A and B are shown apart, each in its own frame.
Chain A
């Protein structure tokens, strides 16, 4: 069970808002500092590890920029959205970030309320209102990647890529 304070975002939150142009090729740490700098400046200083993002429709629309990795780097425990862009979802799986489709979530929560998320039961509960919602189950193979750090660790284990980034900063 995951439990955390919610931050609410609207519909069509795009990849470039999560990973703005100037940091697309910067280090993961530098990228994480820039999340939502255009639409919600200062948010990265307020969000705390364990917090949960509530999104609207089509969360993550846009490019392959790894917004999911930046949210993971910031310590966000989970993303719940009305619907998820497929490419954002792929990056969530492959970078090991829990992102779930949860219809009704954007109206069930106001910012600052606490969400409890159970992937065993695929259920989300609003602790303040008691409302519960179902989320869409993720296929077991993909859930395993999401919860176990994504795909790079297994590629390293299989000797397909070198253990570390070629250049650290």
Chain B
């Protein structure tokens, strides 16, 4: 019996010929992502030994630049840790700043066929690069840093075969909202994407899908490797890697085909994305106080380009705060060079430095009581972006930008120019 992508990667990393659902795989971790939050004063443990500093990547992303003393202390401690143990790949505040999951991809730290862990649930983002990546807890993170290992209770895999091509105005986020709305959670299961339709999805769009795997409660979310991916990696590194394709007789617990051409823009209603998606038209007219584009899922250059296209020559509605947080400074620079930042600022948007920011209600866009926000970020849990009485709708960046102009949730098609 054959193996799925993730089973093959875990088999390689654990030195086993075969891995199957139900196994407890103990694997060698190829990349460990450490964050500023791992060094917050009240939760950190002092690490005395590091297994292999060359396998560690450190990224300060949740609180940059630090909005308070605790995060400043965390980053100072993190810098000292990097120096003490010789961690060369440190993404501090400045030129190389950004959200870890996007940096792991931009810099091709996460290679096809390898394993990665991070104490942030959206580490599954690297699955877009055919990497078995998983968000773990802080204790797992410390375990991986100090021993080089991690354990995974292997689940069954759901396969999504993509066909067709997304219509204009429909994005990967809508595809995700279709899956979460139709099939609900995938707890203890892996999600695997492939099929002819994936060729029409950029690496950024694929990363939106795998990042949002965390919202499905999936264990791992991975894409097949194709020429688009291999070219993407080769443009960034000459490091060797071996991408993993599923076996022809791989066993899936379910196999579902999705015709991308048939999808329409969706939004998730507040508090959950599980079976909570509706066509944008059903939420249309809901007044908003804030519109947010950003996060590891949708702070890409494609999101910012789309937002600029929609708001060009228009004004953000009175009383609406439109906040855009690029996922990395590299993306920010691209957006500057392309003129998108100018267009967005002219419309009245605020474009912030790259960080997690408003996505988790950390800083730069925290919601107040009873406010309504539409976001293209990762999560719409109650209280996620600030006050627990705030309502958070989730949609594509196009839907968010269109809504910022309208002042109410609107279908992005309403902003298409004649």
Contact = CB atoms under 8 A, between A and B. Distances in A.
A94 B49 contact: no
A169 interface: yes
Interface string A154-169: 0100011110011101
A4 interface: no
Contact of B119 (A64, A150, A162): A64
A58 B187 contact: yes
A141 B384 CA distance: 34
A125 B147 CA distance: 40
B142 interface: yes
Nearest to A16: B381
A122 interface: no
Given A160-B47, A167-B41, A64 B217 contact: no
A62 B42 CA distance: 22
Nearest to A83: B187
Most buried by A among B47, B137, B361, B381: B137
Contacts of A83: 185, 187-188
Nearest to A154: B143
Contacts of B382: 16-17, 38-39
Contact of A58 (B77, B153, B274): B274
A167 B69 CA distance: 14
A16 B45 CA distance: 22
Among A24, A37, A83, chain B packs the most CB atoms within 10 A around the CB of A24
A161 B187 contact: no
Contacts of B146: 155, 160-161
Nearest to A138: B153
A14 B136 CA distance: 16
Contact of A85 (B44, B49, B217, B379): B217
A62 B138 CA distance: 14
B230 interface: no
Contact of A62 (B49, B119, B147, B379): B379
Given A62-B121, A141-B24, A161-B45, A86 B140 contact: no
B46 interface: yes
B148 to A, nearest CB: 11
Contacts, number: 150
A69 to B, nearest CB: 9
B40 A64 contact: no
Contacts of B98: none
Interface residues of B, number: 49
Contacts of A141: 24, 151
Interface in A78-131: 83-87, 89-91, 94-95
Given A57-B187, A86-B187, A86-B217, A16 B43 contact: no
A11 B272 CA distance: 11
Given A58-B217, A142-B24, A152-B45, A64 B386 contact: no
A147 interface: no
Contacts of A87: 121, 135-137, 214
A58 B185 contact: yes
A95 B139 contact: yes
A37 B382 CA distance: 11
Nearest to B383: A38
A63 B24 contact: no
Contacts of B219: 86
B42 A167 contact: yes
Contact of B46 (A16, A38, A162, A169): A162
Nearest to B46: A162
Interface string B309-335: 000000000000000000000000000
A61 interface: yes
Contacts of B348: none
Contacts of A162: 45-46, 48
Contacts of A169: 42
A42 interface: no
A26 interface: yes
Contacts of B48: 159-162
Contacts of A47: none
B136 A151 contact: no
Interface string B126-150: 0000000001111110110011000
Contacts of A151: 139-140, 142-143
A26 B70 CA distance: 10
Contacts of B381: 14-17, 62
A150 B138 CA distance: 12
A132 to B, nearest CB: 23
Contact of A166 (B44, B121, B185): B44
Contacts of A61: 185, 187, 215, 217, 274
21 contacts: A11-B274, A17-B381, A38-B383, A61-B187, A61-B217, A62-B121, A62-B379, A62-B381, A64-B119, A64-B120, A64-B135, A64-B138, A84-B187, A94-B137, A142-B24, A150-B139, A151-B139, A151-B142, A159-B48, A160-B147, A162-B48
Interface of A: 11-12, 14-17, 20-21, 24-27, 30, 37-39, 57-58, 61-64, 66, 83-87, 89-91, 94-95, 139, 141-142, 150-152, 155, 159-162, 165-167, 169
* Interchain residue pairs A-B with the least CB separation, the first 10: A94-B139, A162-B46, A38-B388, A160-B146, A25-B40, A91-B137, A58-B185, A16-B381, A63-B121, A151-B139
